[in-house]
Structure 1
Amino acid sequence: MAKKSGGSTPATLALTRAGVTFHMREYLHDPHVTDFGAEAAAALNVPQERVFKTLLVEVDGREIVVGIVPVSGLLDLKAIAMAAGGKKAVMADPKVAERKTGYVVGGISPLGQRTKLVTILDESAGEHDTILISGGKRGLDIELAATDLAAIADAKFASIAKLG
């Protein structure tokens, strides 16, 4: 099942409870770096297309939605709004993102969040045997199958990324 190492997070606990196979991939986070996804990809020697970032948006001023896209690209705000059944999306305030998820920016995982949110995973995740997502803290990624991520996060697949 899981490779245990330096402690657990709500994300790893959720995967363990679900019996999902995953691997914890740790690296030393540089506190001066703010491009967390690119840092993870470089530190773990994984192509950026396989490392996915978790972003929160506010759709139509009423609902917070989680978007998961490759760090090599950008979140398409119009596409995620449409995938969530809305018309317009804006990036959520970082303080709102932290409060809703229970994680700090740069370590927000789509799993084990404090509040259950609508979650949309970019369809490009299905092109890879495994992808990497934040494990719930800076310096920790989780490698798992995209289908397992979608099942545990109750996420739907949609085209929500655009080239960066």
Structure 2
Amino acid sequence: MKKNKLQKTNAIRLLESNNISYQTYEFPWSEDHLGAEAVFDHLTVPKDWIYKTLVITGDKTGVIVACIPGTSELDLKSLAKASGNKKVELLPLTDLEKTTGYIRGGCSPIGMKKVFPTYLSIKAETMSKMIVSAGKRGMQIEVNPIDLQKLIKAEFVAIEAN
């Protein structure tokens, strides 16, 4: 019997080339369910482990990335302040793939086309594991938040809305 081979994404290749341990999760996806809620429905892990990746533009810095718990909303004012911007807004979806190399529902903070300033929720700093997109719809990666922070040169900040 042939075993299914894991399709390696840029994110997985980057983790492996830096000897960072990870675990992958795969699940069925649909165009109608691409957000964090779809991940909640398919993975039997604590919801607070699951993080979503948001791509934002700042009026001074240009593109920045934020990773926050899937159950949270982004506080744009806090992110603007942390990133040295006066104003930030979500990158239009039409620009996501050409900017990051990833599509909606499969945007990972790891392995984007370019290295963008990245901000991780302060909540992740004390966790032993977190789950982010593997860079493909229906695939997630569990990784140690400190390993992730070092790999993508991110900063831990309070950026969720209360």
TM-score for both structures, normalised by structure 1: 0.91
- Residue 106, structure 1, aligned to residue 95, structure 2: no
CA distance, structure 1, for counterparts of residue 116 and residue 94 of structure 2: 16
Q: Shift of residue 129 of structure 1?
A: 1.1
CA distance, structure 1, for counterparts of residue 28 and residue 57 of structure 2: 31
Q: Shift of residue 5 of structure 1?
A: 4.7
Query: Which letter maps to 1:90?
Result: E
Q: Shift of residue 33 of structure 1?
A: 1.2
1:7-46 pair list within 5 angstroms = 7-34=7-34, 36-46=35-45
Gaps of 5+ in 1: none
1:32-80 per-residue CA deviation (whole Å, 9 max, x = no partner) reads: 214x211112201123221000001111165110000001001111111
Q: Shift of residue 126 of structure 1?
A: 2.0
1:89 counterpart residue number: 88
Query: Which letter maps to 2:112?
Result: Q
Rg comparison, structure with higher value: 2
Runs of 4+ in 1 over 6 A off after TM superposition: none
Aligned residues: 159
Question: What is the RMSD computed on CA atoms of the aligned residues?
Answer: 1.5
Q: Is the 8 A contact 2:60 2:84 kept in 1?
A: no
- Residue 6, structure 1, aligned to residue 3, structure 2: no
- Structure 2 residue matching 1:29: 3-state secondary structure: coil
Closer, same or farther: CA 62–148 of 1 in aligned 2, 3 Å: closer
Query: Which letter maps to 1:153?
Result: I
1:47 counterpart residue number: 46
Q: Is the 8 A contact 2:27 2:138 kept in 1?
A: yes
Gaps of 5+ in 2: none
- Structure 2 residue matching 1:14: 3-state secondary structure: helix
